[in-house]
Amino acid sequence: MKMIKYIQILIFVLIFTGIKAQKDVTGFLNYGLNNAKVLSQSYLLPQSRMISSALTADFESTARVKHLGGVDLKAGINYSFTPTSDFLFDVQEMISAGMLKDVTLAAGSVIKAPTVAKRFLHGQERPSLEYAGAESEMPNGSDYNSMLSPVVSVSVGIALNTEIGFNYMLPLGDENTDDATMYGVTLKHSLKNYLPFLRHTPFLQMAIAGNYSKYSSSTAVSYHGQTGQKLTVDAAGYGGGLIVGMDYPVFGFTGNVGYSVTKNSFALDGTFTDVPEDGVVESPELTTYDDGFVNFGVGMFFRVYHFRLSANYTYGLYSALNAGIAYEFGY
């Protein structure tokens, strides 16, 4: 009952915090489809990196591997966030480098544009670009600078000092996010039997782990009041690494280091009409991010009866925080 109550609290927190999504990305179509793809790559970068951090963040709060039949039920919150260095991007640099075709900066315009992570206040000037004989102000951001998601998981000890875990982000939606889901699988194998000093030190734990995660979302958007249009995201990540920890009956510490690979694809779904120089555009792909990066993390936990309270910090492309409560039995 306590676990169910905790999950309900997590759902309440996320609904009222909101996984914010950007609805103004279609405004880049004012500069033609090819230019929209180039601008979207800089604009959506924080969203992609937050998703990558969520996909690869450390869901393991202990280096200890469960015995055969041992079970761990966990509910927690994963929180990834954007550094201020990725709040803006320089449009003038993109024009000077020839990245944008037939686009010029309007006379007297500012050169710094907001990414999805930064929303300019009313009256704060954004860059104005000229394309196909028309001038328009670039889209605003949405303050989408953090991603908060509730995750539930179950881990089971299987043969050969190995356990398998399954993670699932509770599906949630609001006026900004029609649908967002994430799930993953983790394998963890103990190294205690291979190293004598580990076998003779009960509190010291060491394991190798590998994981795979998948994320998808769909957000309603509109280009010049048109209907039936969406921004879709499909992402996947996998990786592996080493987990080291001190596991005492009442408390413990963990540290991990590993390498992860992610691929995130953004696309528009629907029919977009009156796009300058392109006319009608059908469900165009916007941009894809392929990243490989080292990640590391530290954490600690406390045990009370069969419950384990944990907190972890992981850094990869971006920082991510995890906090949760687990119910252990069958060790």
CATH number, domain 2-329, options 3.40.50, 2.40.360, 1.10.1740, 2.40.128? 2.40.128
Residue 250, pLDDT > 70, answer yes
Residue type, 208: I
Contact assessment for residue 116 and residue 129, using Cβ atoms and an 8 Å cutoff: no
User: Predicted confidence band at 58 (pLDDT cuts at 50, 70, 90)?
Assistant: low
Q: In 3D, which of 305, 310, 311, 313 has the Cα closest to residue 331?
A: 305
**How far is the C-alpha of 135 from the C-alpha of 111, rounded, in Å?**
15
Question: What local confidence, expressed as pLDDT, does residue 235 receive?
Answer: 97
Dihedral sign (CA 301, 15, 171, 79): negative
Q: What is the per-residue pLDDT for 178? A: 59
Per-residue pLDDT, averaged over 248-265, amounts to 95
Give the global pTM.
Answer: 0.89
Quick one: pLDDT at residue 61?
81
What backbone torsions phi and psi does residue 171 show, to the nearest 5 degrees? Answer: -70, 125
Is pLDDT at 59 greater than 70 in this prediction? Answer: no
Which of 49-63, 174-188, 206-220 is the most confident on average?
206-220
How much is the pLDDT for 23? 67
Instruction: Check if the beta carbon of residue 174 is closer than 8 Å to that of residue 15.
Output: yes
What backbone phi and psi angles, to 5 degrees, belong to 318?
-130, 170
User: What are residue 110's phi and psi, to 5 degrees?
Assistant: -70, 165
**Residue 143's pLDDT band (cuts 50, 70, 90):** confident
Q: How far apart are CA 281 and CA 270, in angstroms?
A: 8
| pLDDT tens-digit map of 183-234 | 999 999 999 989 988 888 989 999 999 999 999 999 899 999 999 999 999 9
Domain ranges (residues) in the chain: 2-329
Average pLDDT over residues 55-62: 78
Lowest mean pLDDT of 8-22, 75-89, 206-220, 308-322, name the range: 8-22
Average pLDDT for the chain: 89
The mean per-residue pLDDT over the stretch 14-30 comes to: 66
